[in-house]
Amino acid sequence: MVDQEKFNERINDLVEEAEEKPVRRVKKEKPNLKESIYSLQPHQLEEWLKENGEKPFRAAQIFDWLYNKRVKTFEEMSNLSKGLREKLTANFALSTLSTIIKQESKDGTIKFLFQLQDGYSIETVLMRHEYGNSVCVTTQVGCRIGCTFCASTLGGLKRHLLAGEIVEQVVKVQQTLDELGERVSHIVIMGIGEPFDNYDAMMNFLKVINHEKGLNIGARHITVSTSGIVPKIYQFADEQLQINFAVSLHAPNQEARQKLMPIARAYKLEELMEAVRYYTKKTGRRVSFEYGLMSGENDSVEIAEELSALIKGIKCHVNLIPVNYVPERDYVRTSRSQIFAFEKTLKKNGINVTIRREQGSDIAAACGQLRAQERSEETR
C-alpha cells in the first residue's frame, strides 16, 4: 500500500521542480463539506440506517428514489417516514452541484460547468456516439500533475472531489437525458484532475455507478485514465476489475515525455511501461494509450516509429488525439496530413490505432477550458 503522505510530497515536489518556481507549501484546511448521499454504496447505507434506528431494507427504497426515479429532494421520497426523511436531510446533501453554464455543440456534445457546495467549479461533458451516450467526469477541482498542454492544471489543485460529487455529475447528465428519453451508457473518467490522485473516491464512485441498484452501468462501458502514477497502476491491476484502463502517454521517450508531463520526473517512462505490462498480464485486458498530437513536438513519422518500438508486444490500442487549442498554452494542433501519416506508420508496424473524433470544438472543448474561461479566479 502506498504511503499517502510520501506520495503527496513526491507529486508536489515534482510539479514545483518542473515549474522551476518552488513555493512555500501551506497546509490547506480540509473544507467543511456535507457528505453527499451519492457517496454511499448500498451496504454502507444499510449500516447507516441501522446505526440510526431505521430498518436496513429502506436502503433499497432510497436507492430506487436516487437512481431510478432520480428525485431532487429527500421530501419527494414519499414511501419513507417523515422522521427518516428529516434524518437524511440533516446528515446528507442530495444536491451538491448547481449548473452555472450548459453549452450545447452543433454535434450534440453538451458541456456543463457545475458549482460545488464550497463555491468551486468543475466541468462535465456529455458526448454522443453511435454506440450511445458517454459522460466524461471530473475527479478533482483543478489538478496538480502540471501537464504543459492541459487547461485543467491552470491554478493547480484546489481539492479532491467526494465520491458522491463524482456520482452526481452522472446523475445530473442523466436528468438532462431523461427529458429526451435517453440514457447514459458509458462513463470515461478523463475530466479535470488525475483520477489516481483521488483513488479511494474514484473506486467508491465506480462501485456505486456499476451497482445493479445504482446506475447499473456495465464495467466494460467504463474507462479510467491516468497520467502514469505507477504505484496506483499496480494497485488498480490487483483490483481485478473489468473496467477499461487508459494511460496518457503523449511521448515515446523519457526526455520528450517529461517536457510535456512533469509526472515523468517522478515516475520514469521505463517504470511506467513495466507497470503497464504488469496490468495486462495480471488482468488479461488490453490497455489504451492516449496520445495527444502537438505540431512539431511529438507528431513526426520518426517519433511514430519510436512509439511503435516502445509498445510493441503489449496488448494495447493507441488513441490519437488532435489536441484542442488552449489560449493559455503554446501548443498548436497537428495538421490533418501529419495525423494520417502518424497513424499510417503505427498501422504499418502492427499497432492497433484509431484517431479520436473531434467533438465540441465550438464550445470550449478542451479539458478545463470552460472553467478557465468562466472562473479565471480559480485558475490563476
- The domain spans of the chain are 37-91, 96-378
Q: Tens digit of pLDDT for each residue in 150-173?
A: 877 778 899 999 999 999 999 999
Q: With bands split at pLDDT 50, 70 and 90, how would you rate the model's confidence at 22?
A: very low
136 among annotated binding-site residues = no
Out of 46, 54, 367, 378, pick the active-site residue. 367
Q: Tens digit of pLDDT for each residue in 206-253?
A: 999 999 999 999 999 999 999 999 999 999 999 999 999 999 999 999
Highest CATH level, class, for 37-91: mainly alpha
316 among annotated binding-site residues = no
Q: Which secondary-structure segment (H or E) carries 101?
A: strand 98-104
- Average pLDDT score over the chain: 89
DSSP-derived secondary structure letter, 195 = G
**pLDDT for res 356:** 82
121 among annotated binding-site residues = no
367 is catalytic: yes
DSSP-assigned beta bridge partners for residue 206: none
Beta strands 121-129; 132-136: pairing state: antiparallel
96-378: CATH number: 3.20.20.70
| Interatomic CA distance for residues 175 and 222, integer angstroms | 19
What are the start-end ranges of the H helices in the chain?
A: 4-19, 42-51, 58-63, 82-91, 163-178, 199-210, 230-238, 254-260, 263-266, 269-283, 301-311, 336-348, 369-374
pTM: 0.88
| Interatomic CA distance for residues 247 and 290, integer angstroms | 6
| Interatomic CA distance for residues 127 and 136, integer angstroms | 8
Helix, coil or strand: residue 260: helix
Q: Tens digit of pLDDT for each residue in 99-128?
A: 999 999 888 899 999 999 999 999 999 999
Helix, coil or strand: residue 39: helix
**pLDDT for res 287:** 98
pLDDT at 2 over 70: no
Q: With bands split at pLDDT 50, 70 and 90, how would you rate the model's confidence at 325?
A: low
- Rounded to the nearest 5°, which phi and psi values hold at 64? -65, -45
249 among annotated binding-site residues = yes
**pLDDT for res 369:** 54
Beta strands 244-248; 353-355: pairing state: unpaired
Out of 46, 54, 123, 290, pick the active-site residue. 123
248 among annotated binding-site residues = yes
193 among annotated binding-site residues = yes
